[in-house]
Amino acid sequence: MVDTPREDITNTFRILVATDCHLGYMEKDEIRRHDSFQAFEEICSIAEQKQVDFLLLGGDLFHENKPSRSTLVKAIEILRCHCLNDRPVQFQVVSDQTVNFANTFGHVNYEDPHFNVGLPVFSIHGNHDDPAGVDNLSAVDILSACNLVNYFGKMVLEGSGVGQITLYPILIRKGSTAVALYGLGNIRDERLNRMFQTPHAVQWMRPESQEGCQLSDWFNILVLHQNRVKTNPKNAINEHFLPRFLDFIVWGHEHECLIDPQEIPGMGFHITQPGSSVATSLIDGESKPKHVLLLEIKGNQYRPTKIPLTSVRPFEYAEVVLKDEPDIDPNDQSSILEHLDKVVSNLIEKSNSKAVTRSELKLPLVRLKVDYSGFMTINPQRFGQKYVGKVANPQDILIFSKASRKCQGQAKIDDSERLRPEELNQQNIEALVAESNLKMEILPVSDLDVALHNFIHKDDKMAFYSCVQYNIQETRHIKSTSAAGIGSAVSFSDEEDTGQISGSRASGRNQKGSKVVSRPSHDASEAGKGRGSRGRGRGRGRAGSSNLKQTTLDATLGFRQSQRSVSVAATAAVRSVADEVENVDSASSEDAENNKINEVDDSSVWTSIP
């Protein structure tokens, strides 16, 4: 980090970084329905005022996987107001854009001669707006088709078992400064965790050294959207999984604002966690002030400047342990109510005192977490009725919890204790299923979790059908190979899933050189045509400037068995739904054949190094 001269703008990138805008959150709430849009409009206004080169978003632009028409219209209106103008774009994309942007047009939006884009927006997808369905489309694809957003980091899972991904950077130049922008849209954390620990499953393409621009001259940025808090090591991404050649990482998904870049010891890169621009989960981390980051890059040095967001609804959070309060009688509900009323009133007064002017005064969000161990509870809805018109969330001000009791000899938690009525809304159905002592032999719990999530949150009506069909297919395959004396006995378990099965099936195909990137061959021809024929636009890359070489991130923390691709199976099962009633068996066998397609060697375009 250095102080870059502000007057040297011809060689300095100015990037505004934000994540987790969650457009459309609480859109049916009369008080909070506009919060996400006001914050996003402020972010775009800051980008205009600071005259940044582009706006970089780290995922979860939308809160719903299928946003409503109202949400889409408002998002498009905001982007059109702030992004379409005559301001010249000062940087140039010099990589193969047909690889960077997987859409029909295959180039950055400001190069389209039919649009005047003055503020380019680059975005990956998050876990809320990730691609889904037969066509694997995201809500961000809609904005990309409207030429308002440059959607990158959309991975195509190749290979078998746990899968394989290849990250191609967007190479951009401004004067003497060169930036390689890597994007990794959200992938299920358990799967990506195993991919990072599987040899050659994650491959990084790097720019080749050329005259006037060596490999060391590139400033490498990674934008990703994954779990970072390691409550469960298998359900998060460790910073040490990432390659050391990276210089700066924008970490999305985590809503707590840790905007100041933190250096990771021994890795050589810095991480910024901008956090969300709207509070979606009323926890302690979301009560911190919200910011966006202005990132200035010159050469291999950068300067961060955090900018506070002023349109965010105030949020006050506190915790109370009733047994630590000496004036409360455990059997007297009125004394409990009186104490909680006093705490909530103080939080409201504290929030109102922070408003500079009366026009800035918004109804605050208030959350009080109450540890009621040894005490009786009260009705949270009835408690919040007296605060209607004083807070934005009167229905859920209080949340009750109990101190965890971890006994060495207690192997099973009493269901009556875990499923107390006042705590039902605080439980996660996946956690309840995972805690069960029952072990299913055919349907892995992890697969059912994914199917349930897709059915509820992504409106995927075929989720359970696809899950059942794929696991039936796997079971038949194991039984047939076992009967023929070819395969060994393999048992299903919730922990290891069916990784051993997929690994044994894929071992024959994966013995070939795994360091060569496999892509459909038509991409190579289209890339060649794109470099030779396109000459329009304000930043078309020079021919030959997009040469990349491949770096494979080898596993350093031990290897694990590969896991199959549930998403590929779901797509295959959807293709065969028309034949469901007539012949399920034949549909399953056809799906198994479809999963073996699409491995074409394209080593003539990309250079592979060990």
Instruction: Convert the pLDDT of each residue in 198-240 to its tens digit.
Output: 999 999 999 988 877 889 999 999 999 999 977 778 889 999 9
| Sheet-wide strand order for 170-174 | 92-93, 170-174, 177-184, 218-225, 248-252, 270-273, 258-263
> Residue 496: pLDDT above 60?
no
d(CA 336, CA 360): 33
Q: How confident is the model at residue 438 (pLDDT cuts 50, 70, 90)?
A: low
> Residue 416: pLDDT above 70?
no
Whether the CB-CB separation of 521 and 602 falls below 8 Å is answered with yes
> Residue 555: pLDDT above 80?
no
**Residues 551-575: what's their mean pLDDT?**
39
pLDDT of residue 52: 97
Q: How confident is the model at residue 337 (pLDDT cuts 50, 70, 90)?
A: very high
Taken as a whole, the chain contains a residue count of 610
pLDDT of residue 231: 73
pTM, full prediction? 0.70
The residue type found at 497 is: D
Domain with CATH 3.30.110.110 in the chain: 315-427
Instruction: Convert the pLDDT of each residue in 571-590 to its tens digit.
Output: 444 344 344 434 434 444 44
Q: How confident is the model at residue 192 (pLDDT cuts 50, 70, 90)?
A: very high
Domain with CATH 3.60.21.10 in the chain: 13-312
**Residues 29-43: what's their mean pLDDT?**
96
> Residue 490: pLDDT above 50?
no
Active site residue 128: yes
Helix, strand or coil for residue 8?
coil
pLDDT of residue 435: 54
> Residue 560: pLDDT above 90?
no
d(CA 233, CA 237): 8
> Residue 502: pLDDT above 90?
no
Q: Which letter does DSSP use for residue 541 in this model?
A: P
Q: Which helix (H) or strand (E) holds 595?
A: none
d(CA 194, CA 201): 9
Q: Which of 381, 278, 363, 374 is nearest to 323 (CA)?
A: 374
> Residue 544: pLDDT above 70?
no
| β 202-207/291-298 pair status | unpaired
pLDDT of residue 359: 53
Domain 13-312 fold is Purple Acid Phosphatase; chain A, domain 2 (3.60.21)
| Sheet-wide strand order for 165-167 | 165-167, 202-207, 548-552, 607-608
Tell me which architecture the domain covering 315-427 has in CATH: 2-Layer Sandwich (3.30)
Distances in whole angstroms, Cα of residue 285 to Cα of each of 64, 276, 289, 347, 570: 22, 10, 10, 16, 36
**Lowest model confidence (mean pLDDT) among 12-16, 37-41, 546-550:** 546-550
d(CA 154, CA 161): 19
Q: Which letter does DSSP use for residue 359 in this model?
A: G
Q: How confident is the model at residue 485 (pLDDT cuts 50, 70, 90)?
A: low
* 3-state SS, one letter per residue, for 145-208: HCCCCEECCCCCCECCCCCEEEECCEEEEECCEEEEEEEECCCCHHHHHHHHCCCCCEEEEEEC
**Residues 75-86: what's their mean pLDDT?**
96
pLDDT of residue 58: 96
Radius of gyration of the chain (CA): 26
Percent of the chain with pLDDT over 90: 52
Q: What are phi and psi of 342, to 5 degrees?
A: -65, -40
Query: DSSP labels for 68-126?
Result: -HHHHHHHHHHHHHHHBSSPPP--EE-S-HHHHS-SSS-S-GGG-TT--BSS-EEE---
> Residue 561: pLDDT above 60?
no
Q: Which of 182, 112, 111, 195 is nearest to 152 (CA)?
A: 182
d(CA 479, CA 550): 40
Mean pLDDT across the chain: 78
d(CA 90, CA 543): 19
Place of tokens 């919060």: 35
> Residue 179: pLDDT above 90?
yes
Say which of 128, 253, 255, 291 is annotated catalytic.
Answer: 128
Q: Where are the beta strands (DSSP E) in 520-606?
A: 548-552
pLDDT of residue 88: 94
Percent of the chain with pLDDT over 70: 71
pLDDT of residue 100: 92
**Lowest model confidence (mean pLDDT) among 64-73, 130-139, 377-386, 497-506:** 497-506
d(CA 251, CA 274): 7
Q: How confident is the model at residue 425 (pLDDT cuts 50, 70, 90)?
A: very low
d(CA 53, CA 45): 13
**Lowest model confidence (mean pLDDT) among 27-41, 123-137, 421-435:** 421-435
